[in-house]
Amino acid sequence: MPLPTPERLETERLVLRQRRVDEAATYRRLWTERDPRVPARRRIDADGRPSIKDIEEHLRAEIASPGLKVLAVEVRETGQVIGYCGLFAVDGRPADEPELAYELLVAAHGQGCATEAARAVVTWARAAGYPRLWADVWDWNTASLRVLDKLGFRATGVVEPGPHGDSLQTVLDL
């Protein structure tokens, strides 16, 4: 079985590390900045949920649980958290074939940070013995499609149509 998520990965500009409860406001901001085409279950609802408190509770549970975790993406120079990147297990897939996920604040878009962070996670996953990584992405999310292409992910041909666009399945054999 491959290794669990490392506590820290470093790149030229970024530090990827365990997320902290005191960063909940940043992760909630990600929710507020999401494209309106993202399904409602992944956006702030009419009652303002998830709240910062909801996200704090989620982070506490994540920190306490074993296994894979997404990591905070922090700018090395400033210490500012700009999003997250990491691996998570998906029901129905082998435990050693997790999914890559990343999301950055809008202010960090277009600077290559998603590619840099994801490349660090892919490099670690390869060294840790994972045979394959998956990533699902909306067909309209051209920026994420470019990131995955740069990392060597390829389309599997599996497309899940939905009211918010088509979800494209990609895979990277390590």
pLDDT tens per residue across span 95-154? 899 999 999 999 999 999 999 999 999 999 999 999 999 999 999 999 999 999 999 999
Q: Is 111 helix (H, G, I), strand (E, B) or coil?
A: coil
Which structure tokens are listed for 20? 């902290």
pLDDT tens per residue across span 24-53? 999 999 999 999 998 888 999 999 999 999
For the question of whether the overall pTM of this predicted structure is more than 0.85, the answer is: yes
Q: Is 74 helix (H, G, I), strand (E, B) or coil?
A: strand
Q: Which CATH class is domain 8-173?
A: alpha beta
Which structure tokens are listed for 33? 């900045």
Determine the residue type at 163: P
User: Can you tell me the distance from the alpha carbon of 124 to that of 133, in angstroms, rounded to the nearest whole number?
Assistant: 12
